[in-house]
Amino acid sequence: MNYNGCRWYYFLISLIIMMAGCNQKRRSIESTGLVDSLIAVSETLRDSGSPVESLDFLDKQFSGVDVSPLGRYKLYAYKYNIYDGQLHNGRRALLYADSLLYLVKDKAVVWDTAHLFRAFMLKANASYRNELFDSAFKYYELAKDLALKSGSACEEFVYLFRISMVQFREEKFIESARLFKMAYATSTLCSRTTMEHCFRQQEILSNTGIAYGKAQMNDSSLHYYREALKFILERRDLFKADRRKWDEALSVVYGNIGSVFSSLKQTDSAELYFERSIALSRMTGRNIADRQYNLLKFADLLMDKGQINAAGDLLAEFDSVDKRLRLIRTTEENLEFDLRSTEVYARYYFDKHLYQEAISFIHRRDSVREEKWTVTNRILKNDLQNGMDNIGHEKQIISLEKDVRIRAQQNIILVLTIVLSLVVLLAIFSSFRKYKQKSLVLEDTNKKIKDESAKKEELLRRKIRQDELNFMALIENTDDFLWSVDREFNLLAFNKAYREYFILVFGVEPRTGTPDPVKMLSPERYAKLVDGYETVLAGHPYDIVEKGMSVNGNTPDVEVRFRPIRDEQGNLSGVSCFRRDITEYVRLITKLETSNKQLRDIAWVQSHKLRGPLATMIGILDYLSDPEVTDADREMMTASLLEKLEEMDKIIHEIVALSE
Provide the CATH number for the domain around residue 516.
3.30.450.20
Q: How confident is the model at residue 9 (pLDDT cuts 50, 70, 90)?
A: very low
For 452-493, what is each residue's pLDDT tens digit?
878 888 887 887 777 666 666 656 677 788 889 998 889 888
pTM of the model as a whole: 0.45
- Statement to judge: residues 573 and 633 lie in one domain: no
Nearest to 137 by CA among 449, 460, 379, 455: 455
- Statement to judge: residues 638 and 595 lie in one domain: yes
pLDDT for 178 beyond 70: yes
- Statement to judge: residues 424 and 500 lie in one domain: no
- Statement to judge: residues 564 and 483 lie in one domain: yes
Supply the pLDDT for residue 500: 82
- Statement to judge: residues 558 and 630 lie in one domain: no
625 belongs to a structural domain: yes
- Statement to judge: residues 489 and 577 lie in one domain: yes
Decide which of 577 and 397 is more confident. Answer: 577
Supply the pLDDT for residue 531: 86
- Statement to judge: residues 522 and 572 lie in one domain: yes
Give yes or no for a contact between 245 and 209, defined as CB atoms under 8 angstroms apart.
no
For 606-632, what is each residue's pLDDT tens digit?
666 777 787 788 888 877 777 877 888
What is the rounded CA–CA span in Å between residue 399 and residue 393? 10
109 belongs to a structural domain: no
602 sits in the region (left: phi over 0; alpha: psi -120 to 50; else beta) called alpha
Nearest to 428 by CA among 415, 442, 444, 412: 412
- Statement to judge: residues 576 and 596 lie in one domain: no
Alpha helices in 105-194 (DSSP H): 113-129, 133-150, 153-169, 173-187
What is the rounded CA–CA span in Å between residue 181 and residue 173? 12
The DSSP call for residue 576 is: E
463 belongs to a structural domain: yes
For 237-276, what is each residue's pLDDT tens digit?
877 777 777 888 888 888 888 888 888 889 888 888 888 8
pLDDT for 234 beyond 70: yes
Residue range of the domain that includes 510: 478-581
630 belongs to a structural domain: yes
How many independent structural domains does the chain possess?
3
1 belongs to a structural domain: no
Q: How far is CA 490 from CA 239, 531, 536, in A?
A: 52, 15, 15
The mean per-residue pLDDT over the stretch 164-181 comes to 82
Average pLDDT over the chain, rounded to an integer:
77
252 sits in the region (left: phi over 0; alpha: psi -120 to 50; else beta) called alpha
Give yes or no for a contact between 137 and 180, defined as CB atoms under 8 angstroms apart.
no
Neighbours of 71 (CB within 10 A): 22
What is the rounded CA–CA span in Å between residue 344 and residue 300? 6
What is the rounded CA–CA span in Å between residue 18 and residue 61? 9
Close Cβ partners of 89 (under 8 Å, ≥ 6 residues apart): 83
Most confident range (mean pLDDT) of 388-397, 452-461, 555-564 is 555-564
- Statement to judge: residues 446 and 465 lie in one domain: yes
285 sits in the region (left: phi over 0; alpha: psi -120 to 50; else beta) called left
Give yes or no for a contact between 80 and 58, defined as CB atoms under 8 angstroms apart.
no
- Residue 2: burial class (beta carbons within 10 Å; 0-12, 13-18, 19+): exposed
Residue by residue, DSSP assigns 506-554 as HS----TTSB-THHHH-HHHHHHHHHHHHHHHTT--EEEEEE---BTTB
638 belongs to a structural domain: yes
632 belongs to a structural domain: yes
Supply the pLDDT for residue 23: 39
- Statement to judge: residues 626 and 600 lie in one domain: yes
Q: How confident is the model at residue 408 (pLDDT cuts 50, 70, 90)?
A: low
Q: How far is CA 648 from CA 396, 604, 637, 638, 644, in A?
A: 122, 15, 16, 15, 6
Last residue within a domain, chosen from 581, 600, 634 = 581
What are residue 29's DSSP bridge partners? Answer: 67
Round to the nearest angstrom and report the end-to-end CA distance of the chain.
85
What is the rounded CA–CA span in Å between residue 486 and residue 329? 64
Q: How far is CA 223 from CA 57, 215, 253, in A?
A: 43, 14, 12
Last residue within a domain, chosen from 581, 614, 647 = 581
49 belongs to a structural domain: no
- Statement to judge: residues 623 and 651 lie in one domain: yes
Lowest mean pLDDT among 186-200, 334-348, 375-389: 375-389
Last residue within a domain, chosen from 564, 581, 598 = 581
- Statement to judge: residues 441 and 487 lie in one domain: no
Neighbours of 539 (CB within 10 A): 8
